[in-house]
């Protein structure tokens, strides 16, 4: 019970710190935020500037602005978007599902690809490993923007198998998911193969082989768990890549979602939306790290409290 | 006639000819067949409106995407002529301060409400209400005083001073007429337009997925198209879909692979690909209004000297730069106004101020910029000849090319690029710059007033970045706003254009050109005065 409480408090602290950082960074920008509200193409009078300033509370002292911002945050309200004239919470909620779909699909695809490739290339022969490593290097160093355009050009523009951005169907999810998942899968594969090879050198692998366990079973049943731990520690990076990748993928594939809104908000200097996205990302990071802690125990029995086995 | 219009005309002619030959099979006599009245057209656009209320938004894309939904009192033809639309006629008082519109009596909004004088009044009241926070439409109304209902189908719009540009303003989507009941929905609903906006246009706005697409459906009751719309009655398309594809490569790919029928904003380097494709066509049109130009801060320390301004103006080899940067896509400009701006462009300025580095050097010597520093820039009292140019966003290839060209004359163009609208806005308001480069679309020569009228300072949300305060210029521009005869207005605007070039307060560079890639199956599609596609008369040939 106490553990849960500590977790909650620390989670709240992380979100508060991220939100405060976002607030401060955006305050460092010099000048008058009213320009951000009205945009550069507008025909508005000085009097209207004042009205907008009052409407968004921009005429208040900074401390008051900060406190009301934190107060709103605590009640899950982020204020109103400057450009969209809607509550930020509504904007984000409307755009959440397409991004969740994309992120979930990539979260499923990337580890599956990584496991398959890592296991297949961790045998005694060296050449599959070398080929795979070369491919992984290329994939990791390819900008996902370019990867997306290439996939689109081949499978959508030339072959016509998949749509650019058809409304919501499964077919429209295929290419974006691959674009988002491939670089993640490539890094995961490298980490897992390292772990697999290290585990296969351990005495228990020799024992298992000596018992006549088939090679694939040795790798899947015994060694894979060992390689899963280092892969799990990368969950934070994984989440960050998913969120950052969503910005690029959603724009290349013209998909709706948080990434699309974020890019537009940054371009338009729509500060409340940017702050909302930062707070949302912080919440996601906290949630993922909790989930990973639970998964550690699932993957590695040595980490479970009751087993009493010491982790090395 | 500029080449782009010739191209447009040719495309339309070819389209008409093709339509004639393919469809005349079933009909007898010399008449072309009625085009098939059905189909869906999918258009890819590069931008998505932040706010869908044209009374609020200053975004061009909002005006474009709400045009199918909202009709206006006045229609501006692609050539710039003004003709009746929701208003059957109008009377202008001799002092050009009062406009009395007589409305059509048969117009029905999408929600069933009838168009009457009260409805028009409700729209003007909404635009000018403080709570609306209009960023553009209210500005278009200029010296607006008020609107009064004269009869059931007659309204009177009054201004504090003569304001003839109002008629053109009344033709824009920004002053489009919405069903009065929907204006009470509140700014958040009107901006989000999730359930659609309600006007009296040829299309009703339907399902909307932010970041993906907006669907429009034909308004079967539509029967009040303006005379020159090229079509009458309900639109030929049953459904119009607009997809938001911000990435240019994706947009072009979607067009070449037939996943969309038309696409806006084709990048210059992709145009060749489209024109070479036998299934595709390209329509383009020079955008009317203020061309891309450098406005020189005549109140600044450097450019208060007319010799230095002239030196700057004649030092730039505009022709060569425009040709090399835009690969022949854009024309160079000779006037601050685009040639397609109706009844105001002064063609006599063409070729009157060719580049002249020798003259430029002579003028700079006279002004005392005689020294040279280690990098070859001119100096005066040990200070380099630096021209500060604040830029919102990134410096364009063209600006950089100008920078390189000016170096030859010993002038340092300092491109202060910043993505910070606040910083740039502050700089412009406080006059901390030497030049500002920008263009501004508007289907009326009155855009000159926004740039050269003395009270249109940046702080007053005008664009008088040259900081012109010349009583004579004000007189001409006021005369142009007062005169009702187009020829007379054109004469006044010509004086202002000549003055601006002669006094080197502006260096016009190139004429913005909008293009549209389209499948050849799309017929009778034309570009409006603002160079956006007009979907009302368009139709798509069955596959």
Specify whether the CB–CB gap between B103 and B88 falls below 8 A. Answer: yes
Using a pLDDT cut of 90, give the percent of chain A over it: 7
The whole-angstrom distance between B537's CA and the closest CA on chain A is: 26
Which band of pLDDT confidence, cut at 50, 70 and 90, is reported for residue A311? very low
Q: Average pLDDT for residues B257-286, to the nearest whole number? A: 90
* % of residues, chain A, pLDDT over 70: 88
Mind listing the pLDDT tens digit for each residue in A8-67?
888 888 888 888 888 887 777 655 666 666 655 555 666 777 777 777 777 778 888 888
Q: How sure is the predictor about B18, in pLDDT bands with cuts at 50, 70 and 90?
A: very low
> Is the Cβ–Cβ distance between B401 and B260 less than 8 Å?
no
User: Phi and psi dihedrals of B129, rounded to 5?
Assistant: -65, 140
Question: Model-level pTM?
Answer: 0.81
d(CA B534, CA B226): 13
Residues from chain B that touch A36, judged by Cβ atoms under 8 A, are: 421-422
Nearest by CB to B243, which of A32, A48, A165? A165
Q: Which of B43, B50, B248, B432 to mutate to test the interface with A (most CBs of A within 10 A)?
A: B50
How large is the average pLDDT for residues B79-102? 93
B425:A35 CB<8 A = yes
Q: What Rg, from alpha-carbon coordinates, does chain B have?
A: 24
Angle CA B43–B46–B47, to nearest 5: 110
pLDDT at B500: 96
State residue A168's pLDDT score: 60
CA angle B160, B161, B166 (to 5 degrees): 95
Residue of A nearest to B257 (CA): A157
Structure tokens at B279: 């299934």
**pLDDT of B218 over the 50 cut:** yes
Residue B361 has pLDDT above 90, yes or no: yes
For residue B445, pLDDT over 80 is answered with: yes
CA distance A300 to A304: 7
Task: Please give the average per-residue pLDDT across A238-263, as a whole number.
Answer: 88
HEC per residue, B63-101: HHHHCCCCECCEEECCCCCEEECCEEEEEECCCCCEEEE
- The predicted-structure confidence for B295-348, as pLDDT tens digits, reads as follows 999 999 999 999 999 999 999 999 999 998 887 788 999 999 999 999 899 999
Cα B319 from chain centre: 23
The predicted pLDDT at position B109 comes to 96
Cα–Cα distance for residue pair B147/B170, rounded to 1 Å: 13
Q: Which residue has the higher pLDDT, A261 or A297?
A: A261
Contact A85 B249 (CB under 8 A): no
Q: Return the pLDDT at A1.
A: 55
How is residue B352 written in tokens? Answer: 């009157």
Can you tell me which residue has the tokens 């620390």? A10
What is the sign of the dihedral through the CA atoms of B157, B162, B167 and B173?
Answer: negative
pLDDT of B318 reads: 95
**Who has greater pLDDT, B399 or A44?**
B399
* SS3 of residue B106 by DSSP: coil
Q: Which residues of B are less than 8 Å from A251 in CB distance?
A: 246-247
Rounded to an integer, the average pLDDT of B352-362 is 94
Residue A157 in contact with residue A204, Cβ under 8 Å? no
Instruction: Give the pLDDT band of residue A156 (cuts 50, 70, 90).
Output: confident
**Using CA atoms, how far apart are residues A272 and A78, in angstroms rounded to an integer?**
7
Q: How confident is the model at residue B23 (pLDDT cuts 50, 70, 90)?
A: very low
Q: Identify the pLDDT of residue A38.
A: 62
Contacts of A253 in chain B (CB under 8 A): 250
The span from the CA of B118 to the CA of B111, in Å, is 16
- What's the number of CA atoms in the CB half-sphere (13 Å) around residue B359? 13
- How many C-beta atoms lie closer than 10 Å to residue B245's C-beta? 32
- Asked if the Cβ–Cβ distance from B135 to A43 is below 8 Å, we say yes
Chain B residues within an 8 Å CB radius of A257 = 211
Interface of A with B in 53-82 (CB under 8 A): 55, 80
Share of residues in chain B with pLDDT > 70 (%): 92
Q: Is the dihedral of CA B43, B44, B50, B54 positive or negative?
A: negative
Closest-CA residue of B relative to A252 is B247
Average pLDDT over residues B158-169: 91
B402-413 mean pLDDT: 94
Residues of chain B with Cβ-Cβ distance to A84 below 8 Å are 50-51, 191-192
pLDDT score at B25: 33
Model confidence pLDDT, tens digit, residues B64-80: 999 999 999 999 999 88
In angstroms, the Cα distances linking B509 to A281, A289, B297, B318, B331 are 45, 56, 17, 6, 9
As a whole number of angstroms, the longest Cα–Cα distance in chain A is 85
Token pair 């909790």: residue: A290
Helix B486-502 vs helix B471-482: angle between axes, to the nearest 10 degrees?
Answer: 160
Measure B42 CA to nearest chain A CA, in Å.
Answer: 12
* Local structure of B484: helix, strand or coil: coil
**B106 against A237, higher pLDDT:** B106
Tokens of B224: 């009040």
Instruction: Decide if B426 and A167 are in contact by the 8 Å CB cutoff.
Output: no
Q: Are B405 and B317 in contact (CB under 8 A)?
A: yes
Predicted confidence (pLDDT) per residue in A64-89, tens digit: 888 888 888 777 777 788 777 788 88
Of these ranges, A31-45, A216-230, A237-251, B156-170, the one predicted with the greatest mean pLDDT is: B156-170
Asked if B446 and B165 touch (Cβ cutoff 8 Å), the reply is yes
Residue spans of the domains in chain A: they are: 2-74, 92-303
- Residue B249 near residue A149 (C-beta atoms within 8 A): yes
* Closest CB to B135 among A31, A42, A252: A42
pLDDT band at B28 (very low <50, low <70, confident <90, very high): very low
Per-chain mean pLDDT for chain B: 88
Q: Do B309 and B296 form a contact (C-beta atoms < 8 A)? A: yes
From CA B476, how far away is CA B511, in angstroms rounded? 24
Inter-chain residue contact B50 with A257, CB threshold 8 Å: no
Cα–Cα distance, B508 to B313 (Å, whole number): 9
What per-residue confidence (pLDDT) applies to A176?
Answer: 92
- Rounded Cα gap, residues B296 and B389, in angstroms: 10
Provide mean pLDDT across the span B20-45: 56
**Residue of B51, B133, B421 with shortest CB distance to A35:** B421
A40 close contact with B: CB closer than 8 A: yes
Cα–Cα distance measured from residue B240 to residue B533, given in angstroms and rounded to the nearest whole number: 12
Q: What is the mean pLDDT of residues B35-53?
A: 84
Nearest residue on chain A to B140, alpha-carbon basis: A43
Fold observed for domain A92-303: MetI-like fold (1.10.3720)
Rounded to a whole number of angstroms, the distance from the CA of B360 to the nearest CA of chain A is: 33
Q: What distance in Å separates the CA atoms of residue A278 and residue B337, rounded to the nearest whole number?
A: 44
User: Which of B49, B61, B212 would you mutate first to test chain A, the one with the most A CBs within 10 A?
Assistant: B212
- B30: confidence class by pLDDT, cuts 50, 70, 90: very low
Which residues in chain A touch residue B139, judged by CB atoms under 8 angstroms apart?
42-44
**Which chain A residue shows the shortest CA-CA distance from B60?**
A41
For residue B102, which of B73, B79, B82 has the smallest C-alpha distance?
B73
The answer for residues whose C-beta is within 8 angstroms of residue B53's C-beta and 6 or more apart is B62, B187, B190, B191, B193, B197
Beta carbons of A36 and B422 less than 8 Å apart:
yes
| Other CB atoms within 10 A of residue B391 CB | 18
pLDDT at position B295 = 96
């Amino acid at each position: 019970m106490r553990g849960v409480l500590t977790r909650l408090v620390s989670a709240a602290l992380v979100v508060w710190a991220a939100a405060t950082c976002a607030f401060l960074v955006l305050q460092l920008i010099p000048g008058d935020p009213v320009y951000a509200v009205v945009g550069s193409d507008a025909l508005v009078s000085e009097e209207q500037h004042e009205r907008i300033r009052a409407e968004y509370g921009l005429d208040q002292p900074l401390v008051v602005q900060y406190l009301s911002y934190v107060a709103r945050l605590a009640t899950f309200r982020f204020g109103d978007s400057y450009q969209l004239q809607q509550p930020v919470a509504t904007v984000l909620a409307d755009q959440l599902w397409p991004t969740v779909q994309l992120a979930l699909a990539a979260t499923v695809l990337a580890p599956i690809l990584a496991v398959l490739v890592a296991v297949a290339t961790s045998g005694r022969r060296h050449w599959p490993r070398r080929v795979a490593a070369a491919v992984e290097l290329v994939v990791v160093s390819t900008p996902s923007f370019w990867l997306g355009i290439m996939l689109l050009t081949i499978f959508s523009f030339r072959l016509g198998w998949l749509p650019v951005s058809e409304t919501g169907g499964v077919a429209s999810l295929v290419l974006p998911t691959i674009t988002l998942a491939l670089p993640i899968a490539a890094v995961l594969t490298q980490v897992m193969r390292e772990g697999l090879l290290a585990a296969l050198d351990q005495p228990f692998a020799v024992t298992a082989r000596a018992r006549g366990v088939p090679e694939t079973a040795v790798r899947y049943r015994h060694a894979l768990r060992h390689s899963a731990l280092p892969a799990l520690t990368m969950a934070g990076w994984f989440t960050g890549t998913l969120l950052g990748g969503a910005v690029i993928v959603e724009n290349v594939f013209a998909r709706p979602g948080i990434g699309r809104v974020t890019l537009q908000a940054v371009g338009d200097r729509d500060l409340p939306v940017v702050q909302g996205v930062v707070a949302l990302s912080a919440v996601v990071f906290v949630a993922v790290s909790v989930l990973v802690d639970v998964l550690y125990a699932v993957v590695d029995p040595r980490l479970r409290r009751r087993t009493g086995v010491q982790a090395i | 006639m500029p080449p782009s219009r010739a191209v447009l005309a040719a495309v339309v002619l070819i389209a008409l000819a093709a339509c004639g030959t393919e469809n005349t099979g079933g009909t007898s006599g010399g008449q072309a067949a009625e085009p098939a009245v059905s189909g869906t057209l999918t258009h890819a656009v590069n931008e998505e409106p932040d706010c869908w209320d044209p009374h609020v938004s200053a975004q061009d894309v909002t005006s474009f995407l709400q045009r199918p939904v909202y009709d206006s009192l006045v229609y501006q033809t692609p050539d710039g002529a003004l003709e009746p639309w929701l208003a059957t006629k109008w009377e202008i008082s001799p002092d050009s301060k009062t406009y009395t519109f007589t409305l059509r009596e048969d117009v029905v909004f999408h929600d069933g409400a009838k168009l009457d004088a009260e409805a028009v009044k409700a729209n003007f009241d909404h635009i000018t209400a403080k709570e609306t926070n209009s960023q553009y439409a209210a500005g278009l109304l200029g010296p607006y005083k008020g609107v009064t209902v004269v009869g059931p189908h007659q309204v009177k719009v009054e201004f504090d001073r003569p304001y003839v540009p109002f008629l053109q303003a009344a033709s824009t989507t920004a002053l489009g007429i919405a069903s009065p009941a929907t204006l009470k929905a509140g700014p958040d609903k009107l901006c989000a337009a999730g359930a659609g906006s309600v006007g009296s246009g040829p299309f009703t706005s339907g399902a909307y997925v932010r970041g993906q697409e907006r669907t429009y459906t034909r308004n079967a009751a539509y029967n009040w198209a303006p005379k020159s719309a090229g079509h009458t009655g309900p639109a030929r398309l049953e459904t119009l879909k607009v997809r938001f594809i911000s990435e240019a490569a994706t947009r072009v790919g979607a067009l070449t692979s037939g996943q969309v029928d038309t696409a806006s904003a084709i990048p210059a380097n992709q145009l060749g690909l489209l024109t070479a494709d036998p299934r595709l066509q390209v329509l383009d049109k020079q955008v009317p209004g203020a061309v891309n130009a450098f406005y020189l801060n005549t109140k600044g320390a450097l450019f208060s000297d007319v010799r230095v301004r002239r030196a700057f103006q004649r030092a730039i080899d505009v022709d060569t730069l425009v040709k090399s940067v835009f690969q022949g896509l854009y024309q160079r400009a000779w006037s601050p106004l685009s040639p397609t701006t109706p009844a105001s462009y002064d063609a006599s300025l063409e070729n009157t101020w060719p580049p002249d580095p020798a003259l430029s050097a002579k003028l700079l010597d006279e002004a005392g910029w005689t020294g040279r520093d280690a990098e070859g820039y001119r100096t005066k009292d040990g200070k380099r000849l630096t021209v500060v140019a604040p830029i919102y966003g990134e410096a364009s290839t063209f600006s950089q090319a100008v920078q390189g060209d000016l170096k030859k004359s010993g002038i340092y163009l300092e491109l202060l690029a910043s993505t910070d609208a606040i910083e740039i806005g502050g700089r412009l308001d406080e006059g901390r710059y030497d030049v500002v480069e920008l263009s501004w679309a508007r289907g009326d020569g009155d855009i000159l007033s926004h740039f050269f009228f003395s009270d249109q300072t940046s702080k007053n949300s005008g664009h008088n970045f040259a900081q012109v305060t010349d009583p004579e210029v004000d007189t001409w521009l006021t005369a142009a706003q007062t005169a009702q005869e187009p020829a007379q207005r054109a004469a006044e605007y010509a004086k202002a254009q000549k003055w601006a070039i002669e006094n080197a307060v502006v260096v016009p560079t190139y004429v913005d050109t909008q293009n549209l890639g389209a499948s050849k199956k799309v017929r009778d599609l034309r570009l409006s005065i603002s160079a956006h596609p007009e979907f009302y008369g368009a139709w798509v040939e069955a596959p």
